[in-house]
Amino acid sequence: MAEYYDEELEEIKRRKLMELQRRLALEEEMKRKQQEEEARREALLRTILTPEARERLANVKLVRPEIARLVEDNIIALVQSGQIKPPVDEETVKKLLALIYERTHRETRIRIKRK
């Protein structure tokens, strides 16, 4: 009886270990694909943007990474659709930053009601 129990326990342990190894392999593959995609994106932005525009976006990314990502996405989409021609200068980046800031900015209002 104990021998059967030990074999069953070992089989369960073996299956769990295989499942964990499979999950780790999938996570590593996804991480590698994400890094490759990010590298392609950076290379594309390097060809599209002027050095000053890249520097401006890098500064924005330090403070508000989500807005910088939106601007980068917009720039890539605009260039791919042919609406703007590379190289994209700093002034264009500033305009896009202002537009996106207006769309995403929420003004907070505090109302004090007195009784």
Q: Do residues 19 and 69 share a domain?
A: no
Q: What is the pLDDT of residues 78-100, one digit of tens each?
A: 999 999 888 999 999 999 999 98
Residue 62, domain CATH: 1.10.8
Instruction: Please provide the average confidence, as pLDDT, over all residues in the chain.
Output: 90
Same domain, 37 and 83: no
- DSSP letter for each residue of 64-105: -HHHHHHHHHHHHHHHHHTSS-SSB-HHHHHHHHHHHHHHH-
pLDDT one-digit tens code per residue, 19-60: 999 999 999 999 999 999 999 999 999 999 999 999 999 999
Is 55 found in the same domain as 44? no
**Percentage above 90 pLDDT, the chain:** 73
Higher pLDDT, 1 or 22: 22
7 lies in the same domain as 40? yes
If one counts the domains in the chain, the total is: 2
Do 25 and 73 fall into the same domain? no
Label residue 87 exposed, middle or buried (CB < 10 Å: 0-12, 13-18, 19+).
middle
What residues have CB less than 8 Å from 48, skipping those under 6 apart? 75, 76, 79, 86, 87, 88
68 pLDDT higher than 80: yes
Regarding whether 74 and 94 lie in a shared domain, the answer is yes
Question: Domain span at residue 8?
Answer: 1-48
Give the separation between CA 46 and CA 42, rounded to whole angstroms.
6
How many alpha carbons fall within 13 Å on the CB side of residue 52?
Answer: 8
Residue 109 shares a structural domain with residue 61: yes
What local confidence, expressed as pLDDT, does residue 89 receive?
92
